[in-house]
Amino acid sequence: MPKARTTVTLDEDVFRAVKIKAARTGKRDSEVIEESLRRDLGLDALAQLWAKVTPAPEDEGLKLAYDELHAMREERRAEGDS
Amino acid sequence: MPRAILEPGVLVSALITPTGTAAKVLRAAREGNFDLLVSRLLLDELETVLRRDKFRRYLDLDDVSAGIRLLLDEGQLVEDPDGPPPLRCADPADDYLIALARQEEAALVSGDRHLLDLAGKIPVFSPSEFLAEQL
């Protein structure tokens, strides 16, 4: 992914914490800041969820999605009628 | 910025097939290429479906909760429609989606033939059509 350069002003204690974490993990300051922002902004949430999923083949997943959606609606209709 | 509603079947497919076309649409929303709209009724249907036993081989219940939270975070939560749809679908259970799309002046993305049969009358697109024509 292309990178964009920016300048930010941080409180000294935050900057110190970035430096410490970078030294401890062997990462660059910018990587620590970017990872923190990604976590806070939820940018990795979808990728993390997909990483946990056992992927369904597309055709199979799509068929199952609609079969089960229609079955669920049918059950709800039946419950409403009874 | 385009606005779109992904109906529950598309969202199910997006969540359980990360490499599929529906997932590409969800990723496009994530990347800010269109405004994803969700409603309580839509998310309720999605969660109820994903909690059915047949989905346990793909994702566990914690993942289902995480997926719903993610959509609430990523999407713009809008009111469920309180009026009738501008036209009826062959499957009445889809009428709320048509009404929602009209209310929000948004495209509807669906893999359901009942809804896709209404193309030309309402702004409904398959996931691949939406990616190719609307983004």
Between CA B135 and CA B122 the distance in angstroms is: 18
Residues B11-58 have pLDDT tens digits of 999 999 999 999 999 999 988 899 999 999 999 999 999 999 999 999
Answer yes or no: do B63 and A68 touch at CB < 8 A: no
Q: How far is B121 from chain A (nearest CA, A)?
A: 22
Residue in A43, A56, A68 closest to B52 by CB:
A68
- The H-or-E segment that residue A57 falls in is none
Q: How far is A73 from chain B (nearest CA, A)?
A: 7
Residues A28-40 have pLDDT tens digits of 999 999 988 887 7
Residue A63 has pLDDT above 70, yes or no: yes
Share of chain B above pLDDT 70, in %: 100
Contact B96, B41 (CB under 8 A): yes
Residue B104 has pLDDT above 70, yes or no: yes
Nearest C-alpha in B relative to A74: B93
Q: How far is B120 from chain A (nearest CA, A)?
A: 23
Which one, of B39, B8, B14, B17, lies nearest residue B27 by Cα?
A: B14
User: Is A10 in the B-facing interface, judged by CB distances under 8 Å?
Assistant: no
Nearest C-alpha in A relative to B91: A70
CB contact set of B115 (below 8 Å; sequence gap of 6+): B7, B89, B94, B97, B98, B108, B124
Residue in B26, B27, B49 closest to A68 by CB:
B49
Q: How far is A81 from chain B (nearest CA, A)?
A: 15
Residue B70 has pLDDT above 80, yes or no: yes
Between CA A22 and CA A20 the distance in angstroms is: 5
Between CA B108 and CA B118 the distance in angstroms is: 11
Residue in B19, B48, B70 closest to A72 by CB:
B48
Beta bridge partners of B108: B5, B124
Kindly indicate the confidence band of residue B6, based on its pLDDT and cuts at 50, 70 and 90. very high
Answer yes or no: do B58 and A55 touch at CB < 8 A: yes
Answer yes or no: do B49 and A72 touch at CB < 8 A: yes
ipTM: 0.89
Answer yes or no: do A61 and B27 touch at CB < 8 A: no
Between CA B4 and CA A10 the distance in angstroms is: 37
User: Is B9 in the A-facing interface, judged by CB distances under 8 Å?
Assistant: yes
